[in-house]
Structure formats: structure tokens, C-alpha cells
Chain A
Amino acid sequence: MKITLKVWRQKSKEAKGEFKTYQLDHVSQDMSFLEMFDVLNNDLVKKGEDPVAFDHDCREGICGMCSMYINGRPHGPLQTTTCQLHMRSFKDGQTITVEPWRAKAFPIIKDLVVDRSSFDRIQQAGGYISVNTGGVPDANEIAIPKKDADAAFDAAACIQCGACVAACKNSSAMLFVSAKISQYALLPQGQPERKTRAENMVAQMDAEGFGACSNTLACEAECPKGISVTNIARMNREYYVSKLSSDNV
């Protein structure tokens, strides 16, 4: 199949970016979206041009590295990761516009690569539990209701790709932060740091410059892991209760 690609090219963080158009006429519909970019980059290298920089790692939909805004939607037309998107989702002769995630807290490093270390700093602010070292405890020693375990696991499925931020008109990171807060708040292991976690992670999220939540639900619609906005409601509860009842003055 033939396609026309409009790709955002930007040499560095400070450089002014622009769209460049490329014609590809030997694309197989069985290619993944990233393989299509590999083909494009091969062509560019052969011509002595600078290949398009883009983030990728596992290409199995589990690492959260890939991050392309394709035809006006994070990760493209399907609710999946860019690496799991295939060219059969597009029509022969179609023009595909590819942009990087746009958010103040995700500055562009080059072309389609954005700096998502703000997510790491939020995670470091409280997305962990303290565990005593010693003998390995039995896996099922602590009884956890199945429903809670399932809900925690669903929240933990977040791969930190940032599609929620990309989809949000406010570049809000609340789906990501709420998933991380929920995953620990629902489990007994998360209780010791529960209140401090909610306060610190929200404070770091604000410090990074992410926006507020307008409840448009755009994040939930685009999340490749299907994280629910019920987590955002839970985060709100966790945060208000923590602020009003914790010892952190």
C-alpha cells in the first residue's frame, strides 16, 4: 500500500519544529506502525538524510515507551499502543499525520521523542512501598479480597506511556497518577505510606506543570491499558482525606 506521512521534525528541544511530508509506496498492511517507520528511516539513511527519532523498546505493548500522536489521537485509531498498531488500520493512499505528545511537562527532545522523566519524578515522590528485608514471605500470607486485588491489578496495568496526558485538553496527568495511587491504596502493603503518598504524588504532579482534570474522560477513551477514571475519583478521595487527616502540617 501507498501512504503519505506528515511527520513532525524538530532537531532539538530549542529548535523550531515543522512538518515534513514523506511518500512511502512499499508499505505492507501487515507491518506494525513502528516497522513502517523503520522502512521510512531506512529510506532516509540511504538518501543520506537524518532518520526520524522516535521512542520504542519492547514493541510488545507492555513497556510504555512508544508515543506517537497519530491522526489526532494518541497511539492512533485503535485503543492500543503505537507498536501494536498495524498498517491494516489505515487505507491505501491515506495521509497520516504523526506528532509528538504535546505538553509543557513533556518537552520534545528530538522529532517524536519527548522527555517523560516528569512521570518518573512523580513516581519517586510516593509510588512505592517500604518492605522489610528478611525471609521470603508466603505469596498468599495476607488475605486480600479478590475484588480489591483485581482493582489494584487493573490500576497497576498502567505502563506510564503518557497517552492520557496527550489526549487531555489540559495535559493533565491525573489518570496516570491516580492509577499509581490506587494500586497501592487498595492493598494492605500500601497502607503505611498511604496518606503521605497521595499528598506527595499530587504535589509533584502539580510541580511538574500538568493541568487539572475537567472530567472530559478523553484519557480513559485513549488509554491503551483501559485504566478507568474511577481511579481519578479514588485519588481525589485519597488526597482530600489525606490533606484533612494526615500529620503532615
Chain B
Amino acid sequence: MNWFSNLLSSTLGRKLVMALTGLFLILFLAVHLAGNLQLLKNDEGQAFNIYAHFMTSNPLIKVISYVNYAFILLHIVWAIILTRRNRAARGPQGYAVSNNTSHWSSRNMGILGTFIALFLIIHLRGFWYEMHWGGIATANYDGVDYKNLYAVVDAAYSQWWYVTIYVVSMILLAFHLYHGFGSAFQTLGLNHVKYNPVIKFVGVAFAIIVPALFALIPIVMFLD
């Protein structure tokens, strides 16, 4: 297995882990958004609460969620390892003058990622922790009791500062995705004259549309 640990500890292997976990998290974002959009349904949160119950009780979803937690941690830890290595490669003396031609987000993925990780802590504490271990009131639909996560979300989104944190975080996420989406394909070696424009277009569209819709939910619920 020496070759395998060599692969994972090489600069290319580490980037491979970043790309694969990143693409999985991109997929997760899309699924998460589809679920969250049910918050905007005009049904006092019934569809959302039933969906939230399904997502926390279905065994298959549970397995996928554990993979998701692991990938988030892996993405963060690997980013720290890579950043440290990259800093060291630069040497102690930096340039006095530097005119960068590259895109801002491509140079600041670590900073963007750090803010997203901080947001994640607030986000998980506010909803995920409450759903699993918090004392949430129940709502009864067709004779069955469901945890009323909608009410928790509704209460959180009635505070302007909470909504502000969410909107700002989604802007940061958009910049992170703007570089990350296409970059992941390049790292995987998937660079092809036919598909490059498709990856670029889908990447930019995803980086704009997904965070925008995520940000729309707290804004709409706040204004309601």
C-alpha cells in the first residue's frame, strides 16, 4: 500500500482529495437547496418538516450524511495541510512588488473557505444541533408528530443580523464556488476542448444561482 500512501501524500494526490470532496460537497449543496426551497411553500412548514424528518431518519440518508460530515472535515483538514505546504514553498522572503493577473477568488480560496467554515459552525449549531438534540416543539400532520424545525428556522430568520450573516456567507460561498467548480475538473485532469466551455458555463451558473437561491430563503422569510 506504499504506492497508495505515496499517491495521497503527493501534491497531486492532495489536490485530488480536495477536488473529489469539493465536487461531492457541490452535489450536496444542490440537494440541500432543493430541500430548503420547501421552506418557501405556503403550508406553515408542513412539507419542510416532513422532509426534515425523512432526512434524519432514513438509514440510507444517514449513511450519506456521515460521508458528508467526513468529506467536509477532509476538505478542511486537507486545505490546511496544502496551504501550509504552499506557504513553505514560497520561502521566507516575499516579493516587494506583485502584480497579479489571476482571479481574486483563485488566490483566496483559503480565506473564503475559513469564513464558510465559521458560517457552518453557526449554521449547524442553529439548526442541525437543534434538530438532533434540541428540545423542538412538534407539529401534528395526519395524526403523526413531526419536529417543527420550520418554527426554529422561522424564528432565526426573523432576526435581521441572522439574515445578514446568511446573505454575506452565501456571497462568500459564490466566490468559493466560482473558482472551485472549474478548478476541481482541471485537478481531475478533465480538461477537454469540447467540454471546457460546458464546465465553465455550468460552474459560473452554479456559483451564482445556488448561493442566490440559498440567500433568497432567509430574505423572503424575514420580509414575511
Contact = CB atoms under 8 A, between A and B. Distances in A.
A186 interface: no
Interface in A207-249: 209-218, 221-222, 229-230, 232-240, 243-244, 248-249
A193 B182 CA distance: 31
A104 B76 CA distance: 25
Contact of B7 (A102, A171, A213, A243): A243
Given A214-B107, A222-B101, A169 B3 contact: no
Nearest to B13: A243
A104 B88 contact: yes
Contacts of B16: 236, 240
Contacts of A105: 89
A104 to B, nearest CB: 4
Given A102-B91, A206-B11, A233 B189 contact: yes
Interface residues of B, number: 42
Interface residues of A, number: 49
Nearest to A249: B3
A152 B191 CA distance: 16
Max count, chain A CB within 10 A of own CB: residue among B15, B97, B187: B97
Contacts of A82: none
A171 B82 CA distance: 12
A203 interface: yes
Interface string A98-127: 010011110000000000000000000000
A239 B12 contact: yes
Contacts, number: 135
A22 interface: no
Contact of B11 (A213, A237, A244): A213
B10 interface: yes
Interface in B97-130: 97-103, 106-107, 109
A119 to B, nearest CB: 14
A102 B94 contact: yes
Contacts of B98: 72
A20 to B, nearest CB: 12
A210 B189 CA distance: 20
Interface of A: 6, 17, 19, 69, 71-73, 97, 99, 102-105, 169-172, 174, 202-203, 205-206, 209-218, 221-222, 229-230, 232-240, 243-244, 248-249
Ranked 3 nearest A-B pairs via Cβ:
A233-B191, A237-B189, A211-B89
13 contacts: A71-B97, A72-B100, A104-B89, A169-B100, A171-B91, A203-B6, A206-B10, A211-B89, A213-B15, A215-B186, A234-B191, A240-B16, A249-B3
Given A172-B86, A243-B3, 17 more contacts: A71-B97, A73-B101, A102-B95, A104-B91, A202-B12, A203-B6, A205-B11, A209-B89, A210-B11, A211-B85, A212-B85, A213-B11, A214-B106, A215-B182, A221-B102, A229-B191, A230-B191
